[in-house]
């Protein structure tokens, strides 16, 4: 079973920030939080990951609570192309041995 | 671009047949993982290969098998196909703990 809980769906107006929550209350100290998205029938696309600190890249920001039991992915200015299923995953970060356990994710619809 | 390619993009087989799906990743990517994604669900882990050895397996029967080659390509083989094997099959190569996925192969079993 996935170690994360996400809302099944969310809507966001184009141009506004999309804030996607994820609960991971059983995360262990050496597990990272990863975010991926999947646009219809394509392979999942890596967005961002983090351990404790907030992270930002050209795609998104990741806010992790101090107790690490939840996180939020922020798309600062959502566009129609951001419509996708977003997956939050917790996993060790090494080059072998770990597999990603995907839940059903959050289906984000960006509305014009 | 992830540098991970898969072939073929689509495939139709009949029940009982065998299928081989292929994946190619970038030089130096020693770990490859395979996932099955049924319609409307998240990907499910099948198995992982590290330096040509199986290094972890999900809850899939032995008729799902794989190979990894020295040139960073890999194969997923499925024998005795069943209707429920119809799915999107994804491979991913791992770099620094992050998995980068290919575009997938969509398999339809009739």
| CA nearest to A50 within chain B | B98
Q: Which of A59-63, A76-80, B38-42 has the lowest mean pLDDT?
A: B38-42
Report the residue from A32, A44, A91 with minimal CB separation from B43. Answer: A44
Mean pLDDT in chain A? 92
pLDDT of B95 reads: 81
Spell out which residues of chain B touch residue A55, defining contact as CB-CB under 8 Å.
Answer: none
What's the pLDDT at B2?
73
pLDDT over 80 at A93, yes or no: no
Q: How far apart are CA A59 and CA A56, in angstroms?
A: 8
For residue B94, give how far its alpha carbon lies from the nearest alpha carbon of chain A (Å).
6
Q: Does residue A108 have a pLDDT over 70?
A: yes
The pLDDT, as a whole number, for residue A111 is 96
Task: Indicate the pLDDT class of residue A41, thresholds 50, 70 and 90.
Answer: confident
CB-based contact (8 Å) between A99 and chain B?
yes
pLDDT at A47: 97
Q: Give me the pLDDT at residue B26, please.
A: 79
pLDDT at site A94: 66
DSSP β-ladder status, B87-95 and B105-109: antiparallel
Residue A95 pLDDT: 57
Q: What is the pLDDT of residues B51-104, one digit of tens each?
A: 889 988 999 999 999 999 988 899 999 999 999 999 999 999 988 778 999 999
- Considering chain B, what percentage of its residues have pLDDT values greater than 90? 76
**Residue B13: pLDDT above 60?**
yes
Distance, in angstroms, between B93 CA and closest chain A CA?
A: 9
Mean pLDDT (chain B) is: 93
HSE-up (13 A, CA, CB side) for residue B51: 3
The pLDDT assigned to A96 comes to 61
Q: What is the pLDDT of residue B108?
A: 98
DSSP per-residue codes, A24-71: -TT--TTEEEEEEEE-TTSPPEEEEEESSS-EE-SS-EEEE-TTSSEE
Q: Which of A42, A95, A105 sits opposite B31 (nearest CB)?
A: A95
- Using a 10 angstrom Cβ sphere, with 0-12 exposed, 13-18 middle and 19 or more buried, the burial of residue A19 is middle
């Amino acid at each position: 079973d996935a170690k994360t809980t996400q809302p099944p769906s969310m809507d966001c107006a184009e141009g506004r920030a999309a804030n996607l929550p994820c609960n991971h209350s059983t995360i262990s100290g050496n597990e990272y939080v990863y975010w991926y998205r999947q646009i219809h029938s394509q392979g999942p696309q890596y967005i961002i990951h983090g351990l404790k600190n907030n992270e930002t890249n050209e795609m998104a920001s990741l806010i992790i609570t101090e107790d690490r039991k939840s996180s939020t992915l922020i798309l600062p200015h959502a566009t129609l192309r951001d419509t996708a299923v977003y997956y939050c995953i917790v996993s060790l970060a090494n080059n072998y041995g770990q597999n990603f356990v995907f839940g059903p994710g959050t289906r984000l619809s960006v509305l014009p | 671009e992830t540098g991970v390619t898969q072939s073929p993009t689509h495939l139709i087989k009949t029940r009982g047949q065998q299928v081989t799906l292929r994946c190619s990743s970038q030089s130096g990517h020693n770990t490859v993982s395979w996932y099955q994604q049924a319609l409307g669900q998240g990907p499910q882990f099948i198995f992982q290969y590290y330096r040509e050895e199986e290094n972890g397996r999900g809850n899939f029967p032995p008729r799902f098998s794989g190979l990894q080659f020295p040139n960073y390509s890999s194969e997923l083989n499925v024998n005795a196909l069943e209707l429920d094997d119809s799915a999107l099959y994804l491979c991913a190569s791992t770099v620094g703990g992050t998995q980068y996925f290919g575009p997938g192969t969509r398999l339809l079993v009739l």
